[in-house]
């Protein structure tokens, strides 16, 4: 069974950077597309970024240019590097695993427990 464990969230001032980590276990990492979603209070889940084994990546326009998804296949880990953080980036960030390089939440059957990111203004 796929297990995902996120870490790296926290409280940061606007303009700063943060790196989230997600460790994958329980299956063959290379078989999965790895993604990140986020959910702010009172809002729907929002796709952030995804990365397949072959190096293809996709981002939501709201973070493109400020965020980079990095995949370390040797460590079964995916990272989300976020720069120039804004208060509107405040959310719980979830790591996901799926089979398609997509942006829909239902394309990712496996989810971590989430890590809180709070950006102060």
* 25 — pLDDT class (breaks 50, 70, 90): very high
pLDDT of residue 46: 97
Share of the chain above pLDDT 90, in %: 100
What six digits make up the tokens of 121?
């203004």
pLDDT tens, residue by residue, 29-48: 999 999 999 999 999 999 99
Order of strands across the sheet that contains 77-82? 3-7, 18-25, 77-82, 67-72
pLDDT tens, residue by residue, 65-97: 999 999 999 999 999 999 999 999 999 999 999
């Amino acid at each position: 069974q796929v297990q995902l464990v996120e870490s790296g969230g926290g409280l940061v001032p606007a303009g700063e950077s943060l790196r989230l980590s997600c460790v994958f276990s329980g299956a063959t990492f290379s078989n999965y597309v790895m993604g990140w979603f986020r959910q702010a209070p009172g809002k729907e889940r929002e796709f952030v970024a995804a990365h397949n084994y072959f190096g293809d990546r996709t981002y939501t326009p709201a973070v493109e240019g400020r965020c980079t998804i990095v995949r370390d296949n040797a460590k079964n880990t995916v990272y989300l590097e976020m720069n120039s953080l804004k208060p509107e980036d405040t959310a719980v960030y979830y790591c996901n695993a799926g089979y398609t390089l997509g942006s829909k939440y239902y394309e990712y059957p496996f989810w971590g427990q989430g890590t809180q990111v709070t950006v102060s203004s």
